[in-house]
Amino acid sequence: MRWTGPLESAALLTVLPVPARATTSSRGVLPWAPLVGLVLGGVATGVAVLVARWISPLAGAVLALAVLALLTRGLHLDGLADTADGLGPVHDRERALQVMRQGDVGPFGVVALVLTLLLQTACLAALLPVDHGWLALWTAVAAARLAMARAGLPGVPAAEGSSLGRLVAGTVSAPWLTGCGLALVVLVVVGAAGDVAAAGRLLAAAAAGLLAAELVQRRARARLGGVTGDVMGAMGETATTVALLVAAALLR
C-alpha cells in the first residue's frame, strides 16, 4: 500500500486540492476512505454543533449536511440516486447498468435522494440537543466510509463496465479493514468520555448502518453482477442514514 493512498482518496472523495503528481491511480481510494471519513465527519460535526448553538438544531443539521455535500461534490448522493434508478425498476442486468450510466436522474433516484436527505436532517436535528448526540454524526460519516472500503475486499466483483470498480477491486485487506473498524470504536469510546452506555448505543447505530450498506452491496451484486462507483456511494449514504436513524432512536 503506497503512502500516496491518502492523497488519492482525498482527491476522489473530496474537493480538497491535491497535487496531480500524487494521484497517479485510484488504488488507494478505498483503503484510506475511513480516514477521509474521520476528517469529513469532524468538519461536519463542528459545523453542526456551532450552528445548533447559535441558531437552532435544525439549522445545524441542514448546514452540516450541506457542508458534507459540498466537501464531497455530492458524489455519494449522486451514486445513491443512480443506484436507486438501477435497482428500483424491474430491469435486466444490462439495462440496469445502462440506466445507471446515464447522466439524468429518474423518479426512483429523486425519491431516494429526497427521502434520504429528509431523514438525515430530521434525525440529526433530534440528536444535536441530546447528550453525545453530536458524536452520532461523526460516527455515521466515518462508518459510511468504512462501508465503502468493504467493497474493496478480495472477492467482491466489479460490475461489467465499471472502471472504478475494477481499479479498486481487492485493494482492501481484511486486517486493514478490521484495524479501521477498531479505530472507529476507539473514536466513539473516547468521544463518549466515559459514558459506556452512550458509546454502546452509538456503536450499535454504526453496526446497523454497516449492515444496511451490506444489504445494498449484496443486492447490487445480485442485480448488477458486482459493484460500481455509484453502488459504493449508495452504500455510504445508506450507512449514514441508518446509523443516524438508530442513534436517534437509542439516544433520545
Q: Is residue 56 part of a domain?
A: yes
Sign of CA dihedral 172, 174, 179, 181: positive
pLDDT score for 124? 97
pTM: 0.93
**H helix runs in 157-225, sequence order:** 163-168, 174-191, 196-224
Average pLDDT over residues 42-47: 96
Q: Is residue 194 part of a domain?
A: yes
Average pLDDT over residues 225-230: 89
**Domain ranges, residue 64:** 5-18+29-251
pLDDT of 191 strictly over 90:
yes
Number of H helices, E strands in the chain: 11, 0
Average pLDDT over residues 195-208: 96
Q: Is residue 23 part of a domain?
A: no
Q: Is residue 75 part of a domain?
A: yes
Average pLDDT over residues 224-241: 93
**Residue 130 — very low, low, confident or very high, per pLDDT cuts 50/70/90?**
very high
Q: What is the mean pLDDT of the chain?
A: 89
pLDDT score for 91? 63
What is residue 66's three-state secondary structure?
A: helix
Q: Is residue 126 part of a domain?
A: yes
All residues at 6 or more sequence positions from 190 whose CB lies less than 8 Å from its CB, including other chains: none
Q: Is residue 52 part of a domain?
A: yes
pLDDT score for 1? 44
Q: Is residue 187 part of a domain?
A: yes
Number of structural domains found in the chain: 1
Q: Is residue 226 part of a domain?
A: yes
The string over 69-81, giving b where at least 16 C-beta atoms fall within 10 Å of a residue's C-beta and e elsewhere, is bebbeebbbbbbb
